[in-house]
Amino acid sequence: MKRLWVFLLIPLLSGCWDSENIEELSLVVGVGIDLSKNKNEIMLTQQILVPPGYSLQENQAKLKFKNVTVSAKTLHEAIRDSLLLTNTVLTNHQRILLINEEVLREIPMEAIINQSIRDNNTRRSCFIFLTKRPTKEILQRADDGEIPSNVIYDLKDNEKRTNKILPTLTLGQASSSLQSDGSFAIQAVDIKGGKLILQGAGVINNSKLVGLMNNKDIESLNWLNGSVKGGIIEAVHHGAPFSVEVDKRRRRKITTELNGDQLTINISVGYTARLSEDWYDKENSFKESYLKEAERKAEEKVKKDVEKIIWKLQHQYKTGVAGLYRYVENQHPKFWEKNKEKWDEIFSEADIKYQVDLKIIDFGSKGGIK
């Protein structure tokens, strides 16, 4: 019996045989990919957490991170080469992946994320962002010593307050989209006034960057694909500006019709909202007809913006990043199976009809005569 107890206690007394001190590991929270100055090579920048109290060079003493940059012909080779500069790299906690625009103009996105998808340690939930500036520059922008990767990661939480942010694109979603129709949009990140900012987006088609969007385009695209979670609609009535804040989506319905090979897509969405600001000095929000007029003006503004982004998608980018192909695939499977290889052409010639129904259910305590 005594021999049995000794046998059972050995694992407990010996501790974790393969454990390593955290100071001896390099925990990667962000990765940036740029084109290298070396011909036919790409440049990898890894942002690594620095444990509290762990000293770096004198000019980096207050930073909570360090960046390691290496160039190689493949990303995996670059990761291995980074071990010449730092401790064992762990990507289990990687939160973001930044890809520079120039990379996606020359190299298919499928190739860029290939190593990350194959790596069991890299989370498929890590977010992908596009950058106009070199990612190395973005990852160096430490605002008040904060870790740039964490700042960028946290900014996406504001999508419930503004509709100028695209829904987050994860590594797994990007991989799936590249395997389906290969068309989607990526949120971009930049530096403005010395601070990191989410600004603009890129349009991916067939694994390449085919166009760029501004914040206005992002707002319109969010309305088109039904991903608005909040934000403001600015419109004008009685010659004065007013704002309607989006509350929540009530419904979204998409139907598709075929007349031969001519596709018609009907999109109808409904949202509740509140009148959040009104510069008209004779406003009377307690009057139903007044609110109805504000609803109609806001609806017209949204519809006009959406029609502009539809035109851009169909005639400028010639690709359907709104994911509308899924409705054609489900509602007309035979047509989709026959024509899925030329979806971009069909989308570009489709008749897309968009209707939005806003219901103002709140206008605060300011309401004119009462």
What's the length of the chain?
A: 370
Q: Is 15 helix (H, G, I), strand (E, B) or coil?
A: coil
Q: Measuring CA to CA, which residue among 31, 29, 107, 40 is closest to residue 69? A: 31
User: Which residues partner with 362 through β-bridges?
Assistant: 274
Q: CATH no. for residue 299? A: 3.30.300.210
Q: How far apart are CA 181 and CA 329, in angstroms?
A: 11
- Taking the CB of residue 168, how many other CB atoms lie within 10 A of it? 17
Instruction: Tell which of 213, 239, 255 closes a domain.
Output: 213
Instruction: Tell which of 186, 213, 240 closes a domain.
Output: 213
One digit per residue, the tens of pLDDT, for the chain of length 370 reads 455 444 444 444 444 545 556 556 679 999 999 999 998 999 999 999 987 665 555 555 467 899 999 999 999 999 999 888 888 888 888 999 999 999 999 999 999 999 999 987 888 999 999 999 999 999 999 877 889 999 999 999 898 899 999 999 999 999 999 988 778 999 999 999 999 999 999 999 989 999 999 999 999 999 998 899 999 999 999 999 999 999 999 999 999 999 988 999 999 999 999 999 999 988 888 889 999 999 999 999 999 999 999 999 999 998 888 788 999 999 999 999 999 889 999 999 999 999 999 999 988 766 555 4
Q: What is the pTM of this model?
A: 0.86
- Identify whether residues 166 and 260 lie together within a single domain: no
State the total domains in the chain.
2
- Identify whether residues 196 and 342 lie together within a single domain: no
Q: How far apart are CA 351 and CA 356, in angstroms?
A: 17
Residue 124 is part of which domain span?
24-213
CA 86 distance to own-chain centroid: 30
Which runs of consecutive H residues, i.e. helices, occur in 83-239? 101-106, 109-112, 114-118, 135-138, 148-155, 171-179, 215-224
pLDDT tens for 41-60 read: 999 999 999 876 655 555 55
What is the pLDDT at residue 13? 47
Instruction: Tell which of 159, 182, 213 closes a domain.
Output: 213
Element (H, E) at 43: strand 42-49
Q: Are 190 and 212 in contact (CB under 8 A)?
A: no
